[in-house]
Chain A
Amino acid sequence: MRLWQIALNSIRYRSLSSVLTAFSMSLGVALVVSVIVIHNVISDSFNRSAQGYDLIIGPKGSALEVVLSTVFYLKAPVGTVPREFLDELETGKYSNAVEHAIPVTIGHHYRMCPVIGTSQDFFTKLEFMGGKKYVFTEGRNFETDAHYEAVVGARAKIKGGLKLGDEFRPADLGDYSDAANDQEDHSPFKVVGFLGATGTPNDNAIFVNINGFYGMHDIPVPEDGTSGEDGTEEDEDHDHDFSAILVMTKQVSAGSKLTTEDLLSGNIPDAEQMNRMRPDLAAMALPALIDKTGDAQAVSPSKEITFLFDNMIGNVQVVLIMLAVLVIVVAGIGMMVSIYNTMNERRQEIAIMRALGARRTTVMAIILLESILLSLGGGILGVLIGHGLIGIINPWISAYTGIVVELWKFQWSELILIPGLVILASVTGYLPAVVAYKQDVASSLKP
């Protein structure tokens, strides 16, 4: 028998206390694993969901709120973007910098799914996750001329319980009554296609022809904007405005490299200059130009998401990791106490091993190994529980954010648990191991 086999045997002999100690250790590890996995996968998804466009032309105000409403559909838009911007981006003074510009109108829902008004280009011109195309698993994209057609995301299909050919009426955000879905003051939208899963918040959404939105009674109004007596006039003005415009700018094409000179000329070009500039340089100037108009702002989704992640979710994560480490340390102390408590009943056992020729250091090593094996066992269990936990909250996260966490996606950062647990186990196993080391043989062998 090898020393680790001896240690393993002692663990099995005290199976109840071993299982309990390992289990408490596994809970801490499960917490760490969930935090690590969710961190990596969500930060991945956060970044990847924004791909497909690199600028959002949104209403003035908080850039972060523009991203939350436009990328994640998590809140109502804070305002509108004048319709003229789309023309300027597509064919007008900004067109030199723009590859695609796609309008979206946000602020309605159907059975908890956000309903987004957009153009059919959303599915043909935008890509997600860095180069993937939208796929229709059933049906087709909506026609530009068919104002009341709708395309449904993979999760929204299930949540909304929709089939091809179904008709539905979106309701205003904030009004979740059944009546809201049944109001008959505009034509219903007809489902003509279903999208394949993308792992982005779009899975959760229903997309309708943006032209159909203008036929609807209630067009989204600014959240904190003017509503009330003079609101009607305002609404008239904004009837054909958008919540945001998604812009894919022209990228640096092969062969054309930015020069330091280009980069250092900090002046904002005017529209005239824009048209004479190289497109990729024009794209760099675009945000400043939009901001200068004072009617809208250009938001870089990846910048905002990184900010959001680092400053808010990141902090929550540090707290969670600290909590998890605390749980692990407490479990480690529990393990120490549980092994220490067995030392008395093991006086005999240790004395026999010493009489058989085991050295002091050998019995010490056996106790340390026991501690290490227990925490590694708890660690493995914890990794399984952690991933299982993610599996349980997975549908919940997906339902609310549209982010699909890949359950069994093992993160390399989880490997840090191995040396971490071995160190912890050596520290907590040290006290009982020293007791074993110091034990007198002759007196323990007396009956």
Chain B
Amino acid sequence: MLEIKNLKKSYAEPDGGELPILDIPAWKVESGEQVVVVGSSGCGKTTLLHITAGILRPTSGHVFIDGWDIPLLTEAERDVFRAKRIGYVFQTFNLLQAFSALQNVLIGMTFSGKHDKNRARHLLERVGLAHRLHHKPSQLSVGEQQRVSVARALANSPKLVLADEPTANVDVGNQQQVIDMLRETCKEENVALILVTHAPDVAGQFDRVDHLPEINLVLKQKTTHSHHK
């Protein structure tokens, strides 16, 4: 479903040099699979997800999703691809403040062209927000907001959901509920899930746990280097 080959990403530095962030020779996720990617803060997790979603372009390499090589698509094509095949849950500020919970889910459908109010309602009911359809984000707790994001990520029946530390800002008591909702709904809809986190207790619940330093050569070299010291 997702196959990354020789992916390299580096950021331009102010002094004109290049700062390598990612160097992933090979990484695969099967369809319907749930993977957690663990790594400490600043190790490139968000960058990896952005590249996978086509929001960022890699410096070089391939990102195949359903046979499409994402970096080869134009920006507009990547936008359409993202609207139709990828759901995204961010760490914070997930929701559009001007819109109700239901509208936030419907907005995702607007850009993909599939307008289905019943499905939007159904998904919000599924994440336990049947009574919060017309509440604005400011009227919802952070945990509830993240559940709306989960519903929105699934709105267009994507192939892949990317979740970037979805519980980092949620109070401890509600974190598990958000993770459960995310995992259950992805399973029900047979959607692959890649969740990145630096929280060990979240990672521990997944069957497949990938450590970014293991798959990312940039970080491997750094750790080897420090060992020698």
Contact = CB atoms under 8 A, between A and B. Distances in A.
Given A9-B103, A357-B108, A357-B111, 9 more contacts: A1-B109, A349-B98, A352-B90, A356-B83, A356-B88, A357-B112, A358-B83, A359-B75, A445-B46
Interface string A73-96: 000000000000000000000000
Given A354-B79, A447-B92, A349 B106 contact: no
B119 interface: no
B94 A352 contact: yes
Interface string A6-24: 1001101110000000000
B107 A356 contact: yes
A9 B56 contact: no
Contacts of B108: 356-357
Nearest to A356: B108
Contacts of A446: 46
B91 interface: yes
Contacts of A356: 82-83, 88, 107-108, 111, 152
A355 interface: yes
B63 to A, nearest CB: 15
B211 interface: no
Contact of B110 (A3, A14, A355, A445): A3
By size class, the interface of chain B is 35 or more
Nearest to A359: B79
B76 interface: yes
Main DSSP-derived SS at the A contact region = helix
A442 B44 CA distance: 13
A446 B91 CA distance: 9
A1 B90 contact: no
A333 interface: no
A442 B49 CA distance: 10
Interface in A1-48: 1-3, 6, 9-10, 12-14
B62 interface: no
Nearest to B156: A357
A442 B108 CA distance: 18
A187 interface: no
B159 interface: no
A-B pairs with lowest CB-CB distance, top 7: A357-B83, A13-B98, A357-B111, A359-B79, A357-B82, A358-B111, A356-B108
Contacts of B79: 354, 357-360
Most buried by B among A352, A446, A447: A352
Contacts of A3: 110
B84 interface: yes
A354 to B, nearest CB: 7
18 contacts: A1-B106, A1-B109, A6-B99, A6-B110, A349-B97, A352-B94, A352-B95, A355-B82, A356-B88, A357-B86, A358-B111, A359-B75, A359-B111, A360-B76, A362-B111, A446-B46, A447-B91, A447-B92
A445 B83 contact: no
A442 B56 contact: yes
Interface in B85-132: 86, 88, 90-99, 103, 106-112, 115
Contacts of A447: 90-93
Contact of B50 (A1, A6, A349, A442): A442
A354 B54 CA distance: 11
Contact of B75 (A9, A10, A360): A360
B55 A445 contact: yes
A353 interface: yes
B140 interface: no
B92 A1 contact: no
Contacts of A348: 93
B110 A1 contact: yes
A357 B80 contact: yes
A445 B111 contact: no
A305 interface: no
Interface in A395-447: 441-442, 445-447
Contacts of B76: 359-361
B53 interface: yes
A349 B24 CA distance: 31
Contacts of A352: 90, 93-96
Interface in B45-85: 46, 50, 53, 55-56, 75-76, 79-84
Interface in A319-334: none
